[in-house]
């Protein structure tokens, strides 16, 4: 009986997803397009980019090491070069994290990000650059129609859709479905310091950073209170919290999505020294 019980427990343990904190080097690049060459300005783009960088630099806790960089208003080629340069020293045991907020859209079911000069960086072009990076890659995509990067179509019925990140190399949290917009919100007024994307504000909160008041908070996405946040926990928090921020408008609807759906990768952790 005891042997049978032990075998059942072992089988359940093998079936459960592993939940390991990252112990190698986490490299993070936070990119935002706030000003376009044609004069368009995305108020909150700078705040969102800086806030995400601040959150990630504090999220890694006591495990491994962190290297980060921040970039604003890049052209398409500058962005591709920067990605390659930032993650060039990654090894197989490392994780490279890329956050991007910008204007975005989709054509024929393929999502794209609009860079400073008005060029479009498509999902497949971005993946072609990312595949050269050693180790695993985490993507946080914060733009309209971002669901097209992972095949999250929402109510889109226009035909072709594909998950361009369909590999165990990638983990991705996107701000909305292929057929949805990604919105910005204000905490007080229209000044840069009080405006951010709903997605970035929710992600930062989940990781223990208040990007409006520039201060550390509790790990709000830590649902099981183990002093760490998995991507699955972060997704659940962002889905709920971004919805709360947009609840004042019946038209402003965005639905975050996670690939893979059950992702136990630990993106934030805190130990005793963080008390």
Task: Note whether 103 and 61 are within 8 A (CB).
Answer: no
Please check whether residue 4 lies inside any domain of the structure. no
Count of residues making up the chain: 275
* Contact criterion met (CB below 8 Å) for 132 and 89: no
Does the residue 74 lie in any domain? Answer: yes
Q: Which two tokens stand for residue 147?
A: 């669901």
Q: How far apart are CA 167 and CA 83, in angstroms?
A: 19
Per-10-residue mean pLDDT, the chain, length 275: 36 36 79 98 98 91 77 98 97 95 94 98 96 97 96 78 92 96 96 98 98 96 96 98 92 94 92 47
Cα–Cα distances in Å, from 61 out to 51, 208, 252?
Answer: 17, 11, 35
Task: Render 35-86 in DSSP notation, one character per residue.
Answer: B-TTS-B-TTHHHHHHHHHHHHHHHTTTSSEEEEEEEES--HHHHHHHHHHH
CATH number of the domain at 174, please: 3.40.50.1460
User: Would residue 12 count as lying in a domain?
Assistant: no
* pLDDT value, residue 270: 86
Domain carrying residue 165: 20-274
Residue pair 70/30 in contact by the 8 Å Cβ criterion? yes
Q: What is the structure's pLDDT at 8?
A: 37
pLDDT digits (tens, 9 = 90+) for 237-266: 999 999 999 998 888 899 999 999 999 999
Task: Give the number of domains in the chain.
Answer: 1
Could you tell me if residue 118 is inside a domain? Answer: yes
pTM of the model: 0.89
Strand partners of residue 172? 139, 259
The closest of 253, 259, 213 to 232, measured between CA atoms, is 259
Domain assignment present for residue 57? The answer is yes
In a domain, residue 1? The reply is no
pLDDT score of 86: 96
Q: Provide the β-strand partners of residue 184.
A: 197
**Do the domain assignments include residue 7?**
no
Instruction: Supply the DSSP symbol for 122.
Output: E
* Residue 37, token pair as written in the block: 């060459």
Enumerate long-range contacts of 222-227, CB under 8 Å, 24 or more apart.
Answer: 227/61, 227/269, 227/270, 227/271
The reply to whether 15 falls in a domain is: no
């Amino acid at each position: 009986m005891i042997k049978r019980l032990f075998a059942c427990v072992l089988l359940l343990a093998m079936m459960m997803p592993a939940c390991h904190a990252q112990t190698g080097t986490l490299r993070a690049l936070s990119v935002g397009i706030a000003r376009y060459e044609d004069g368009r300005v995305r108020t909150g783009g700078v705040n969102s980019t800086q806030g995400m960088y601040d959150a990630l630099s504090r999220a890694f806790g006591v495990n491994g090491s962190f290297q980060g960089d921040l970039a604003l208003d890049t052209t398409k080629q500058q962005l591709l070069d920067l990605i390659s340069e930032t993650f060039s020293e990654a090894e197989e045991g490392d994780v490279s994290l890329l956050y991007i907020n910008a204007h975005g859209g989709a054509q024929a079911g393929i999502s794209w990000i609009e860079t400073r000069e008005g060029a479009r960086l498509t999902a497949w072009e971005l993946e072609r650059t990312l595949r050269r990076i050693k180790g695993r890659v985490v993507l946080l995509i914060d733009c309209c129609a971002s669901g097209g990067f992972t095949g999250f179509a929402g109510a889109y019925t226009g035909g072709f859709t594909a998950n361009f990140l369909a590999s165990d190399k990638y983990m991705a949290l996107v701000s909305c479905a292929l057929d949805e917009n990604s919105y910005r919100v204000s905490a007080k007024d229209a000044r840069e310091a009080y405006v951010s994307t709903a997605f970035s504000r929710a992600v930062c909160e989940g990781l223990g950073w208040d990007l409006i008041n520039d201060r550390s908070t509790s790990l709000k996405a830590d649902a099981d209170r183990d002093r760490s946040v998995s991507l699955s926990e972060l997704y659940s928090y962002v889905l709920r919290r971004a919805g709360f921020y947009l609840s004042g408008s019946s038209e402003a609807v965005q639905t975050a999505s996670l690939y893979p759906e059950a992702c136990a990768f630990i993106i934030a952790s805190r130990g005793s020294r963080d008390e």
